[in-house]
Amino acid sequence: MRLLYDHQIFSSFPRSGISRYYCELFREFDALRVEWECSCRWSNNLFLKELREYPSFLSNWNFRGKNRLLELLNHHCTMQRLKAGDYDVFHSTYSKPYDKALLQGRPYVITVHDMTHEHFPELPSAKREAAEEACSIARADAIICPSYATAADLAELYPESAGKITVIYHGVRPVMPDHLAPLRRPYLLYVGTRQFYRDFPVAVRAVAEFPQYDLLCVGGGPFTPEETALFRVLGMEDRVRQHGASESCLAAIYANASALLFPSRAEGFGFPVIEALARGCVPVLSDIPVFREIGGKGALYFPAGDAEACAACIRELLTASGERTALQEAGAAGLSRFDWKVSARKHLELYDRLIRRSREKVYAERP
């Protein structure tokens, strides 16, 4: 089996949850000796570089249009690989569609991670990306979703896709925590980007109720002027901090956190949730279907957008040690669903079914 993945996610982001998903699969495919290729000529993606020696693209230069130029160059490479035809399955890594005629009858797979562009048209490039995704959904032979909540959302918005959807969970990889230098105060943790539907201000307002705790943010870039203004209004300038973290350092940060706060109004999966569960850190989550599915009985939930209810969950967790232990045990018990080896095997099983179906169709059409 020869698998071809396109360049899209690896041209756009040096690090992202989506690129991490593909690279975790590639790592498992290498262990299984499955032949895979990513149609990049250059890439600055840190996860991909751990697996293959792709040259960096102008890594010391930053200028307007750099990512667009890299995307155009890698798209040319992708088109060449598609025309060469020496692969069995093509899996596109992001929303831009491909002409099925280029694939010459080979299976076309996409992964739909969430429906945020459809639900939040005010997001940057949302209308364009939603239109591209709609075209990809229509053309794909199979669609993978990382959760049943995302699959249901997809089928509701695009009823014609329902028969093509397969749900395959992401995994969590065991990481040995680094030694973490003692932090000055106990902290509540926020991980990832903070913009738009992530509802970061809900976490800030909730933590404001606990003056003995800091809010530690990992990832997401520097604080914006709007965020620092909110900190100032709430008297939290000295209590909201950022921490750059490697995978092993982040594991230690989870393990030492009093809770993970994830107030997002929409997600397709939620890597921080299972990462927290794996380190014994109880997640406090907005009550949306995907978080109920992923967090299960190992998390506390509050109505999305309600900072007071979020604070009540935090208070409950901080004052009831027995409940914390019960939540940690429930979270650990549910982690068996999230295994990259299982995920990779299920991807390969789907690819194999598609290959056999494609070959049967070719034979049936022969005179």
- 292-332 tens-digit pLDDT: 999 999 999 999 999 999 999 999 999 987 889 999 999 99
Confirm if 38 and 5 have CB atoms less than 8 A apart: yes
Q: Which pLDDT score is estimated for 177? A: 74
In-domain check, residue 182:
no
The CA–CA distances, whole Å, from 278 to 149, 205, 211, 320, 330 equal 22, 27, 28, 21, 11
pLDDT digits (tens, 9 = 90+) for 205-241: 999 999 999 999 999 889 999 999 999 999 999 999 9
pLDDT over 80 (residue 356): yes
Same domain, 345 and 332: no
Same domain, 222 and 142: no
Confirm if 250 and 268 have CB atoms less than 8 A apart: no
| Number of domains the chain contains | 2
Same domain, 13 and 157: yes
**Strands, DSSP E only, in 19-112?**
35-38, 89-92, 108-111
Rg of the chain over CA atoms, in angstroms?
A: 22
pTM of the model: 0.94
Same domain, 93 and 164: yes
User: How close are the terminal C-alpha atoms of the chain, in Å?
Assistant: 27
Determine which helix (DSSP H) or strand (DSSP E) holds 358, and give its type and residue range. helix 340-365
In-domain check, residue 285:
yes
Same domain, 145 and 269: no
Q: Which pLDDT score is estimated for 284? A: 98
Which of these ranges, 8-22, 95-109, 256-270, 280-294, has the smallest mean pLDDT?
8-22
pLDDT over 80 (residue 109): yes
Tell me the residue range of the domain where 122 lies.
Answer: 2-171+339-365
Same domain, 332 and 343: no
Q: Is 5 helix (H, G, I), strand (E, B) or coil?
A: strand
CA atoms within 13 A on the CB side of 38: 26
User: What percent of the chain is modeled with pLDDT above 70?
Assistant: 98
Q: Which pLDDT score is estimated for 317? A: 95
Mean pLDDT of 243-248: 78
Backbone angles phi, psi at 49, to 5 degrees: -65, -20
CA dist 191 and 216 (Å) reads 8
Q: Could you say which DSSP state residue 298 is in?
A: G
Sorting pLDDT into bands at 50, 70 and 90, what band is 360? Answer: confident
Same domain, 333 and 344: no
Q: Which pLDDT score is estimated for 16? A: 87
In-domain check, residue 177:
no
Sorting pLDDT into bands at 50, 70 and 90, what band is 33? Answer: very high
Same domain, 206 and 293: yes
In-domain check, residue 180:
no
- Side chain identity at 71, as an amino acid letter? E
Same domain, 309 and 357: no
Determine how many CB atoms are found less than 10 A away from the CB of residue 46.
Answer: 14
Same domain, 14 and 160: yes
pLDDT digits (tens, 9 = 90+) for 117-168: 999 999 999 999 999 999 999 999 999 999 999 999 999 999 999 999 999 9
Q: Give me the chain's average pLDDT, please.
A: 94
Same domain, 63 and 143: yes
Same domain, 68 and 79: yes
In-domain check, residue 133:
yes
CA dist 95 and 197 (Å) reads 20
CA dist 309 and 206 (Å) reads 8
In-domain check, residue 35:
yes
Q: Are strands 35-38 and 89-92 parallel, antiparallel or unpaired?
A: unpaired
Q: Could you say which DSSP state residue 362 is in?
A: H
Q: Which pLDDT score is estimated for 67? A: 84
Confirm if 219 and 195 have CB atoms less than 8 A apart: no
Query: 112: burial class by Cβ within 10 Å (0-12, 13-18, 19+)?
Result: buried
Sorting pLDDT into bands at 50, 70 and 90, what band is 244? Answer: confident
Mean pLDDT of 26-47: 96
pLDDT over 70 (residue 367): no
CA dist 63 and 51 (Å) reads 27
In-domain check, residue 120:
yes
Sign of CA dihedral 44, 48, 50, 51: negative
CA dist 219 and 245 (Å) reads 8
Q: CATH number, domain at 48?
A: 3.40.50.2000
Mean pLDDT of 156-183: 88
Q: Are strands 2-5 and 142-145 parallel, antiparallel or unpaired?
A: unpaired
Q: At what angle do helices 200-207 and 225-233 cross, to 10 degrees?
A: 20
Q: Is 319 helix (H, G, I), strand (E, B) or coil?
A: helix
pLDDT over 80 (residue 362): no
In-domain check, residue 209:
yes
pLDDT over 70 (residue 366): no
pLDDT digits (tens, 9 = 90+) for 252-274: 999 999 999 999 999 999 999 99
